[in-house]
Amino acid sequence: MTKVAVAMSGGVDSSVAAILLKNQGYEVLGVSMKLWPCAEIDGIENRPDICCSPVHIHHARSVAENFHFPHYVVDLEEDMEEEVIGPFCEDYLKGLTPSPCILCNERIKFKRLWEKVRDLEVEFLATGHYAVLRHDARYSIAKAKDREKDQSYFLFSLTQEQLRRTLFPLGLHTKEEVKEIARRYGLPIKEESQEICFVPDNDYAGFLRRRNRMVFNPGAIYDLSGKQIGVHEGICHFTIGQRKGLKVSLGEPRYVVEINQEENSIVLGKKEDLYRKVLFAHMMSFMKGEELSGVSAWAKIRSTHQPAKCTIIKMEEDLYRVEFDEPQKAVAPGQAVVFYDEEEAILGGGWITRSKKSIGKGH
């Protein structure tokens, strides 16, 4: 019997994933990750509705007991701090817009967790992600059946070795189908949190302030003409496309269109000023094995973005230029750009460094 470890957060998706695999004849082991450093480091009380909280770990153990498979808890707090939370804080302090869920998948779930469970002689690691694993000459990930719940964007940087030992039982199910399976087996269906697990109040700047015990450097707010129109309390309070909380009154809506770390400044503009024709990306990975240069693809610049047609051009070692057929709104440095083919399978992706309005030559 093939043995598989299922990463169980305590939510309905990973619980159903474990049940589906058990029903398919796998020998299932449930594993929950202890990732919760916030109470100790940040001073915030634990939230019972957040993934991998003590309450959710208890839920995961209950599912394992009810369906007669073993359950383990793996302590990965230090790894989470080093590989995800630390880089998240550093990026925000630089004025970037990080995507910690991608790093958590790449470095924690599919790397550190695997290193812990492989001693249990498992052949696969399964998760409750909504994504489809494909295999022809190489492994790749395609969008899930449920396009609204699709999580392929967050998995673009997984390696061939990681994909080879991975299962996504929910990829060909819709969320409603998963809920129906949960009801059939008497599992509770709770409202899902959309917050980052280690920022339970969703206040990033507050989290950084409490965590780092630091005072943010105030700086200037400019309009696109270079005129100073206000003062900010720290660039980590802002992200590209932000409209609320700017503390500048100009009689009509203004948006953050640029964050300049070197000058510690913010630039505001109108909604139309948010659109960019070109972005640059580095730290690229190629899931299909082919280096993407001179290739047309469909790009997502954030998880909720509708894919847009583009051309990918290699500029120099580990620097790529992405030219969109139509300008895209709020391209945020620090986020990932993920490329898909016509069949909605991932070609590769990388991390956005900057953007510009026109196709003009140069970097």
Catalytic residue positions, numbered: 104, 197
Task: Report d(CA 158, CA 247) in Å as an integer.
Answer: 40
Task: Report d(CA 154, CA 84) in Å as an integer.
Answer: 14
Question: Taking a C-beta distance cutoff of 8 angstroms, is the pair 256, 267 a contact?
Answer: yes
Alpha helices in 185-262 (DSSP H): 204-212
User: Residue with structure tokens 């206040």?
Assistant: 203
Classified as helix, coil or strand, 315 is: strand
SS (H, E, C) 146-173: CCCCCCHHHHCCCCHHHHHCEECCCCCC
Task: Please state whether beta strands 228-232 and 219-223 pair in parallel, antiparallel, or not at all (unpaired).
Answer: antiparallel
**Whose CA is closest to 333, among 96, 101, 90, 91?**
96
Alpha helices in 193-242 (DSSP H): 204-212
